[in-house]
Amino acid sequence: MDNNKKMLGVLLGACLAVLAGCGGKDKPEGGEQASVSADDLAFLNDNQAWRIERHSHLVQPDGWTSLVGLHWLTLKAHYIGSGATSGLRLAVGPEKMGLIRREDGKVWFTPEAGAQLRINDQPVRGRILWHSDQDAEPTVITFDEGKGSISLLQRGSHQALRVRHADASTRQQFAGLDYWPADRRWAVPARFVAHTPARTLQVVDMVGMNNTLANPGRLEFERGGQRYSLEAVGNPDGSLLVIMADRTSGHGSYAAGRYIDVPAPDAQGAVVLDFNRSYNPPCAFTIYATCPLPPAENRLDLRIEAGEKAYAHKPLAQEAGA
């Protein structure tokens, strides 16, 4: 996991490669170095810091690259564990982990004796109510001395178990991220146009489920003399999420689209839409994620050669404990 050092090492090269995009001057004749303005360097440093943080989050022991399982609950009760006799068999963890029972819209878990499970570093003893990722305080059960974890997802009326492990092949063999050169011309001024009243956006995810997301407005911007707009998903803090596809989708960038986090617009609706920080959804790195796909409104007839490129997978070894 030396990609952070590698990314820092290429920063100087990135500065020179991006001069035209940052508004720098062409390289003078005679081999002299082109000058880089303070604003250009600040932009490149900020962008590189964002990339390093992005990489760090992905490869955390509980990051997206650590996923090893997604198991939908289809019965009223499931015995779970890694053993062959488990009704819902996990790739990792104790052979017999416990019993999940669904009752009146709630999910209960009873651990198997000797399973060595913990919640918030406290042993799990007796029957517990299992809170999902949609609750204020989700329940995360850990095992294998904290290297593994299992949590409950709520997707509409459907529920699933998400399993992580620090020794996942997708984490241990993570190939690193690749980007188009940072370019200030892709940090585009945009205008937020609120929907009055606010709407919802129907978005299908990777597992074919329909999701209803808050849609407070759209972002309008110009590129090459053309006007474009993107419907935005609203976050509780006022910031926005854009789920988009463009002409690079499947042709340089991830085929199922990319995401952009956008800060809350100012009082006049002004905001910067920085395509340099467009990034792949978790599904680009693991088959065990449920990712919203770009709605029809956000499929742009525009080639955005900025941000994160498609992920180059390495051949995966057998998962930990499988």
| pLDDT per position as a tens digit, 132-147 | 999 999 999 999 999 9
pLDDT higher than 50, residue 175: yes
DSSP type of residue 19: H
User: Average pLDDT for residues 292-304, to the nearest whole number?
Assistant: 97
Domain regions of the chain by residue span: 1-58, 64-172, 177-322
pLDDT at 36: 75
In this structure, are residues 169 and 319 in contact, taking their beta carbons and an 8 Å threshold? Answer: yes
Q: What's the number of CA atoms in the CB half-sphere (13 Å) around residue 70?
A: 17
d(CA 75, CA 25): 65
Q: pLDDT of 153-173, one tens digit each?
A: 998 889 999 999 999 999 999
| Confidence class for position 93, pLDDT limits 50, 70, 90 | very high
Q: pLDDT of 1-18, one tens digit each?
A: 444 444 444 444 444 444
pLDDT higher than 80, residue 116: yes
pLDDT at 242: 98
Taking phi over 0 as left and psi of -120 to 50 as alpha, with beta for the rest, 133 belongs to: alpha
pTM attached to this predicted model: 0.85
d(CA 241, CA 215): 10
Pick the CATH number of 64-172 from 2.60.200.20, 3.40.50.300, 3.40.50.720, 3.30.70.3270: 2.60.200.20
- How much of the chain exceeds pLDDT 70, in percent? 86
